[in-house]
């Protein structure tokens, strides 16, 4: 059987779930800039909880999403996701995230378990040379990246993987399934260029970035969905998945 992750989490420091999301939140205008890169496998496997399998090659995506509206006003997030499998499902396991809107940040922590921290600057801007993302946190620039000379592609060519966030649910470490729906109105692809990429600041202190892949940008709508299921991070997802409203597996 496939390899499992090697991380055994404790509740300390995890986002505390106050109330899991039960409503669908529709955001009509959202832009998503994604940088994808391979990371060396040994540290990646060690960073994943035991519920998840690493794919090979192990890889991350750094996702910057600008929401021009939201339950707490406009906000932009930047998330580092280490990609994995929950049984045979693709998931992006969040190592760390920042937002420029403290209220939105708290909402994402409380309702979806996103390990989000407020930051001074989290931006996604269109420039004459492409799309630019910047994150300044604690006085340091932890992300300064560009998708250069983007060209149009079809929205059908883009695949966004559902998210999995490690949080404390009733004081117990739990993987929260952060699911979404999206409709892409416009999509572009271009080369990724980095002036700053601090994966340690995004919760991946042991990760080593290797191969970069092309970056994508999309514009369209984005919907945060109610949380349908959670996973015990210490058990294989086949045994540790619980649909909400059902009792935990023995």
Residues that bind other proteins (CB under 8 A): 1-3, 36, 38, 53, 55-57, 59, 83, 85-90, 153-154, 156-159, 161, 187, 189, 211, 213-214, 216, 228-229, 231, 237-241, 243, 249
In the bound state with other proteins, the residue whose beta carbon lies nearer, of 10 and 88, is: 88
69: nearest Cα among 26, 123, 7, 125: 26
Q: How far apart are CA 76 and CA 198, in angstroms?
A: 18
Phi-psi region of 89 (alpha: psi -120 to 50; beta: other; left: phi over 0): beta
Smaller CB distance to other proteins: residue 2 or 73? Answer: 2
Distance separating the N- and C-terminal Cα atoms of the chain? 22
Q: Name 155's Cβ contacts closer than 8 Å, sequence gap at least 6.
A: 184, 185, 186, 187, 218, 220
Which of 133/231 has CB closer to other proteins? 231
Minimum distance from residue 7 beta carbon to other proteins (Å): 18
CB 203 → other proteins: shortest distance, Å? 21
Instruction: State the nearest-atom distance from the C-beta of 164 to other proteins, in Å.
Output: 10
Tally Cβ neighbours within 10 Å of residue 18.
10
Nearer to other proteins (CB atom), residue 83 or residue 109? 83
Shortest Å, Cβ 74 to other proteins: 26
**Least separation, in Å, of the C-beta of 116 and other proteins?**
24
In this structure, what token pair is assigned to residue 127?
A: 């420039």
φ/ψ of residue 133, rounded to 5: -125, 135
Phi, psi of 22 (to 5 degrees): -120, -10
In the bound state with other proteins, the residue whose beta carbon lies nearer, of 55 and 219, is: 55
Alpha-carbon span 249 to 47, nearest angstrom: 25
If phi > 0 it is left, if psi is from -120 to 50 it is alpha, else beta; for residue 170 that is left
Is the CB of 102 or the CB of 213 nearer to other proteins?
213
Q: Which is nearer to other proteins, 91 or 122 (CB)?
A: 91
Name the 3-class secondary structure at 48: coil
Q: How far is the CB of 84 from other proteins (least distance, A)?
A: 10
Residue 58 near residue 85, CB atoms below 8 Å: no
81: left (phi over 0), alpha (psi -120 to 50) or beta: beta
What is the nearest approach in angstroms of other proteins to the Cβ of residue 124? 18
């Amino acid at each position: 059987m496939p390899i499992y992750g090697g991380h055994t989490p404790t509740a300390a420091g995890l986002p505390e779930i106050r109330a899991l999301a039960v409503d669908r939140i529709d955001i009509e205008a959202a832009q998503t800039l994604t940088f994808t890169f391979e990371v060396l496998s040994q540290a990646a496997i060690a960073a994943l909880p035991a519920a998840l399998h690493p794919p090979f090659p192990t890889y991350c995506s750094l996702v910057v999403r600008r929401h021009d509206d939201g339950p707490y006003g406009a906000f932009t997030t930047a998330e580092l996701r280490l990609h994995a499998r929950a049984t045979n499902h693709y998931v992006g396991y969040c190592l760390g995230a920042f937002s420029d809107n403290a209220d939105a940040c708290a909402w994402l922590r409380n309702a979806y378990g996103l390990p989000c921290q407020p930051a001074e600057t989290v931006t996604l801007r269109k420039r004459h040379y492409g799309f630019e993302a910047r994150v300044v946190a604690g006085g340091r620039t932890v992300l300064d990246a560009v998708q250069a000379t983007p060209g149009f592609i079809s929205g059908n060519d883009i695949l966004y993987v559902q998210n999995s966030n490690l949080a404390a649910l009733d004081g117990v470490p739990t993987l929260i399934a952060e699911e979404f729906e999206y409709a892409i109105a416009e999509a572009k692809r271009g080369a990724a260029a980095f002036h700053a990429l601090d994966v340690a600041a995004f919760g991946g202190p042991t990760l080593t970035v290797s191969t970069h892949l092309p970056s994508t940008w999309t514009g369209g709508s984005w919907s945060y969905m109610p949380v349908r299921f959670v996973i015990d991070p210490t058990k294989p997802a086949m045994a540790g998945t619980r649909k909400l409203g059902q009792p935990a597996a023995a």
